[in-house]
Amino acid sequence: MLQGSTYDEVYRSFQWRIPELFNIGVDVCDKWAKNKHHLALIYVDSEGREQKFTFWELKNLSNQLANTLKEHGVGGGDRIGILLPQCPETVISHIAAYKLGAIAVPLLVLFGPLAIEHRLANSEAKVVITDMANLFKIFEIKEELPALKLVLVVGSEGGKGVLDFWCNIEKGSREFSAAATRSDDPALIVYTSGTTGPPKGALHAHRLLLGELPAVEFCQDFFPQEGDMFWTPLDWAYMGGSYNSLFPCLHYGVPVLAYRKRKFDPEEAFQIIAKYGVNVIFTVATVLRMMLLAVENPREKFDLQLRSITVGGETMGKDLYEMGNKALGLQFTENYGQTECDYNIGNCPRIMEIIPGSMGRAIPGHIAEIINEGGEVLKPGTFGEIAIKAPDPVMFLGYWKDLDATKAKYVGEWFRTGDYGMKDDNGYFWFTGRKDDLIESGGYRIGPGEVEDVLMKHDAVSLVAVIGVPDTVRGEIVKAFIVPKEGIVADKDLETSIKEFVKTKLEAHAYPREIEFLKEMPLTNTGKIMKKDLRERNKEKRASREERDNNEN
């Protein structure tokens, strides 16, 4: 527990305690398993059916899975793809992978076959664990994955090389000696979208979990407290869902609610929060906004016992903060981090003033500053790049098989975030924007380059450029400017076809919600697309539309 009466006291007194040997799987499970009744997970499926799992059960099941994987030749350093939603099998698979000394590769269930193929091919995953709802994606790309030797599926036997998850777990022994991993040994690869080229795999060590703990304690009002029940609407393949939520809770022995729905329903979310006594939440601004707009006076309608809500992944803004404060009576805390260097700036209402619109101050254990291109620390009030000082336990080991890209993330001892802003005289950070073209939509970071690559595979597309445009609910949405091939009619049917193509081939959240067809693309003399001109074009059209709407009203 972080101690101290002021932020400065807490920050100055903090010291890292990272042991030489540390295994995430043992830490989040086995140490609590002596009490057979210690609740770890409540799972509510899409039909409303409930299952409960204790730490003792998770220990046994993860040991059985680890033994099963070992029998199939999976060992230390092998990559294991986990393509599952919030469900017990996801937790079991992660823990088993870490106990083996293998490397987990979490995959969003929103991913289409092409997005999955790149990640599995790049990581050279030996195993994929998935369910029947996503198995078809693996079948579609399996021939392109020579390293893939085993597919475990939750549901039923799926054919050659595909084994039933639960049937094979039952065959494994409950006794397993976990790998004696060092804190700096690799534990997982999380793929992050870039503005150009395919996504890169951020390789993290077992120490990542220990590095996240001060931030969770800090931002979640001195977490944990007696009686805490935690829930996040974020997919556990997302860093916010796993290492800002799930695994820190299991580390502390705090039960987690897993709630799986085909489509997010704000009112139902409030119902389940009330039913299970959820009092601590990690979410993104888009989900919070959806809940508050859909349900009026939630405290009057539901028996809520909320004590802490942290918002990450995208800026919350003053308006949403005030809306949430009025509706739920809470001081929301924002946090900031990246896939490569997670959770290092945030707020703690007990020991510092919350200033709506600010990201907060450096979390104890982390050194954050504003730097210039040369890596020099700038004075307060000066615009520059947000940077985190190395070494840091939450900092990645590097990009998987990409040394040049790894080196480019550093200038001297500073990790470069690519995000820009300023730090004021009181140490509060204020986000301005990104250096690159990354699109932040509903808490997801979407690389325009990956979307453009998929769009170019559509039979009707000749040329394409993707940008992010403002949206009141999601912050930003993907907009595609497309030059159709000769003879193609640019109509609503084509627009629908293109949107569905991206949804099924890439990611459901990355499809272009807006499409504008062009006769020709603005290009430089060297043939490079002038995205600046496209942004200006979109800005002018938006202003014209708003003026027209105002005149009509």
CATH number at residue 504: 3.30.300.30
Q: What is the pLDDT of residues 52-78, one digit of tens each?
A: 999 999 999 999 999 999 999 999 999
pLDDT score of 516: 94
pLDDT score of 541: 84
- CA geometry: angle at 248 spanning 243 and 251, to 5°? 135
pLDDT higher than 80, residue 426: yes
Confirm if 156 and 164 have CB atoms less than 8 A apart.
yes
pLDDT score of 167: 92
Q: What is the pLDDT of residues 389-414, one digit of tens each?
A: 999 999 999 999 999 999 999 999 99
Number of independent structural domains in the chain: 1
* Residue 547: exposure state from Cβ atoms within 10 A (0-12, 13-18, ≥19): exposed
pLDDT higher than 70, residue 3: no
Whether residue 470 is contained in a domain is answered as yes
Report the C-alpha gap between 31 and 212 in whole angstroms: 19
Note down the domain range covering 518.
Answer: 439-552
* Residue, of 21 and 454, whose pLDDT is higher: 21
pLDDT score of 456: 84
Please give the mean pLDDT across all residues of the chain: 91
pLDDT score of 525: 47
pLDDT score of 526: 44
Report the C-alpha gap between 289 and 464 in whole angstroms: 31
pLDDT score of 192: 87
Overall average pLDDT of the 350-376 stretch: 94
8-state DSSP, 509: G
Overall average pLDDT of the 277-292 stretch: 90
Whether residue 298 is contained in a domain is answered as no
8-state DSSP, 516: E
Q: Which of 11-20, 185-194, 386-395 has the lowest mean pLDDT?
A: 185-194
Cα–Cα separations (whole angstroms), residue 380 to 194, 336, 419: 29, 19, 16
pLDDT score of 529: 75
Q: pTM of the full predicted structure?
A: 0.83
Overall average pLDDT of the 485-495 stretch: 92
The dihedral formed by the CA atoms of 543, 545, 547 and 553, expressed in degrees to the nearest 10: -150
Whether residue 24 is contained in a domain is answered as no
- Integer-rounded Cα Rg, in Å, for the chain is 23
pLDDT score of 211: 98
Q: What is the pLDDT of residues 505-546, one digit of tens each?
A: 887 888 999 999 999 888 754 455 778 888 889 888 887 777
- CA geometry: angle at 463 spanning 460 and 467, to 5°? 115
pLDDT higher than 70, residue 125: yes
Q: Please give the structure tokens belonging to residue 207.
A: 């120490």
Sign of CA dihedral 342, 344, 348, 353: negative
Whether residue 355 is contained in a domain is answered as no
Whether residue 512 is contained in a domain is answered as yes
Whether residue 469 is contained in a domain is answered as yes
Q: How confident is the model at residue 157 (pLDDT cuts 50, 70, 90)?
A: low
pLDDT score of 2: 60
% of the chain at pLDDT higher than 90: 70
pLDDT higher than 90, residue 297: yes
Whether residue 476 is contained in a domain is answered as yes
pLDDT higher than 60, residue 196: no
Whether residue 486 is contained in a domain is answered as yes
